[in-house]
Amino acid sequence: MDNEKSKFFYVCLEGDYALFTNPTTKGGGENVSCNAPSRQALNGIVDAIYYKPTIVNIIDEVKVINPIQTETMGSRMLLNNMGADLNYVTYLRDVKYLVKYHFEWNLTREDLKQDRNMKKHEAIAERSIQRGGRRDVFLGTRECVGLVTGITKEDYDNAQGAYFNQTISFGLQFHSFIYPKSSKEKLKSCYTETVMKDSTIVFKNQEDCEVINELSTYSFKESSQFKDVGTEYEEYENF
């Protein structure tokens, strides 16, 4: 039986700066942003809008509305010996993205089966979008604050970004993490060929990524208590 899916949600993300760090540039301490956000980065943003362990947010597409521009800034970093070093960070500047996503049930959490009320989760997600998210939104890193606004399906479908009628390949780029479901599993990172067509990147499923690496530096945490969706829905009704 297929997992139940929510309806699609559409949001606009804007910010003066963004930093979706390219992992190949981190070794020397000088970060350079990828040209577009990864699926994992967008997952973190929509999780800040609304997330519970009962659901899994899944990014379907992103539209790059503004032209890709970069700006390099110097930042003074403190060293262990109380000295300082000058590092350079290359940010994306004046960014605007339209994101299409949905959520599905987290089937690994059968203990939360009683919390699977699709209509209430969808209603809370919509209201969270209207309020700009339940938590602060950052575009890749904490110093890059993002603004979230809700848009309609028509807004999304009719939007033509800066690279409409173009096909651009960004090469092999980071896609997302596969997080372990138990302490016996390892964290995995997925990389895939990333292509933007008509200003839109359609994200692959994790299992379709060309490169999947196992990582060992991850500590698995057991789940904790949380509010059921009925209680949260009532709190939103009375807000």
**Which domains are seen in the chain, by residue range?**
9-160 (3.30.70.2660)
Closest to 195 in 3D by CA, of 6, 61, 8, 32: 61
Average pLDDT over residues 75-81: 66
Per-residue pLDDT tens digits for 41-66: 999 999 999 999 999 999 999 999 99
18: left (phi over 0), alpha (psi -120 to 50) or beta: beta
Determine the residue type at 19: L
pTM of the predicted model as reported, rounded to 2 decimal places: 0.85
Least confident of 12-21, 70-79, 114-123, 160-169: 70-79
Determine the residue type at 176: S
Q: Distance (Å, rounded) from C-alpha 148 to C-alpha 96?
A: 10
Task: Quote the mean pLDDT of the chain.
Answer: 88
DSSP strand E in the chain: where? 9-18, 55-64, 70-78, 84-105, 147-150, 167-178, 187-197, 200-202, 211-215
